[in-house]
Each structure stands twice: as C-alpha cells, then as structure tokens.
Homo-oligomer: A and B are copies of this chain.
Amino acid sequence: MSNKQALKQYDIKKYRTPDGYTSDICVFTISSEKNEAYKPPTMDLKIMLIKRAGVDSEGNMNIEANKWAIPGGFVQDDETGFQAAKRELEEETNISGIHIKHFGVYDKPGRDPRGWIISNAHYAIVPDTYLSLRKAQDDAADIELFSINDVLDLDLAFDHKQIIEDAIQVITNDLLQTTVAKNFLPEYFTYSELQAVLKTVTNDPAILSDQSFSRKIKSLPFIQEVQGKTTTRTSKRATKLYTFIEMDVIKPIYTARY
C-alpha cells in the first residue's frame, strides 16, 4: 500500500493536465409576466443566455458561432471557481450579494473542441429589474431571457443543453426543499407572491390553492408574519406581509405526510 501511494505521487508528472478551467453560470430570474396594479403577479422562471459571436477578434469563424450559451469565463489562478463565478456575474450585472450556488462539474472529454476544458456550473438568482437594466444599457442584441419551458428547444453551444437541464432540475428541487425562494422575493412578501414563485416549478394542489396556501404559510416555522405591516400591491384589500426566518430546514421524507 505504501508503494501504491508513493507511485501515485510519482505519477503526477505522467498525467496530462487540463487545458482550461472555467466557471459558467446559469442566471435565473423570475419576471412578472403581468404586473398590473392590485393583482398578484403571474411569474415565469427564466434563464439568461448570451449569443456567441459569429467571428472572433481576428476575423476568423468562431467556434459554436451564433449559438446561445450560458455566460462564463476562465478561472484565474488566484481564485476559486466559485469566486470566479461571482466575479463574472458581478461584471455582467453590476450587482453584488447575489445568491449563487455551485451544482456540478462538466468535464466530459470532447465537450469543448478547443481542448480539455473543465467547467464548473453554478446557478444564480437575480432580480429581473437588474437584468432589464443591463439589457437596456448594452448593445442588447446578443443577450436574452428565455422561459425554462422554451430554452431547451434552442440551438445551444457545447454541452450547455445538458447543463441547463441539470440547472433547472436543481433549482426546482431547491425552490421546493430549501428556503432559496426568498432570493426571488422582496424582504417582506405576501402569500400570493411566494405562491407565484413556487408555481413556476410545481403543480402541487396544496400550493396551487389560495385558501390552503394562505392558511399554511402561517404555520411554517421558517416564515414569520410581519406584524402591523401590509401592502396593497397585490390586491385592493390590504394584504399581510411575511418574511423568511434564517434557519436550516431539513424535513425528512420519512416524517412528512403523504
């Protein structure tokens, strides 16, 4: 065993090393499709993609030209992949404090024709106001939001179809089994706003029903009613506001009610 160990270390020179190490970010936003006065929002979960250029800076044909891709870039040698993702997202959106989470590594040989390139996949949650702003400032031709219901029909670069599929699965899970939904909401929100977020990823009748959900929200240990504050942004009648309590929630499937 000691030999085996020592040999492994010797092998360090033998193995080929990767040609690149990148971080990519699936930027999700929930845009209120309709946002009329005194109406609860109708929401749609969207992902931001960029369109790859047709030619590179030297005028040569670009690889995966004109295809849609998730934003990303190379990790520098003085930062982690996570830090790189954060940096790139901040460069892209000009905001910090964004919720961002690593969810996978994509390293299948041949995934990038340029070489052996390893990609860290992250998802981020960004309020849609920032993205509309970003799109307005810049030449906006090559940045677009796509509904998660449509995005997989696009012509996507590299293995980004797989990455996006996985990201949608992960964020669906996280929205339902963690309190990450709070990142799509203002600090104080109404029951119907939280409900609209969850509706983007589930058909659970207990969540779909207004009465059930407005009753249920009062008994959730990780959500608290904000006393004495109301809003009229979702209805003419003043509506109670709630806020998330900071806590880890692990509800075992073995004790839940089915």
Binding site for B on A (CB under 8 A): 1-3, 5-12, 15-21, 50, 52-58, 62-63, 73-81, 102, 104-105, 107-109, 114, 116, 118, 120, 138-139, 141-143, 172-173, 176-179, 198, 202, 204, 206-207, 213, 216-217, 219-222, 249-258
Contacts and interface: CB of A to CB of B under 8 A. Distances in A.
Nearest to A257: B257
B17 A19 contact: yes
Contacts of A7: 57
The 8 closest A-B pairs by CB, nearest first: A6-B57, A176-B252, A2-B53, A256-B256, A15-B74, A206-B255, A16-B77, A6-B56
Nearest to A249: B253
B116 A250 contact: no
A136 to B, nearest CB: 13
A176 B63 CA distance: 44
Contact of A62 (B6, B17, B249): B6
A173 B177 CA distance: 11
Nearest to A6: B57
A220 B10 CA distance: 51
Given A9-B56, A216-B255, A221-B258, 7 more contacts: A1-B50, A2-B142, A8-B74, A17-B18, A77-B109, A172-B250, A251-B251
B177 A250 contact: yes
Contacts of A17: 17-21
B142 A1 contact: yes
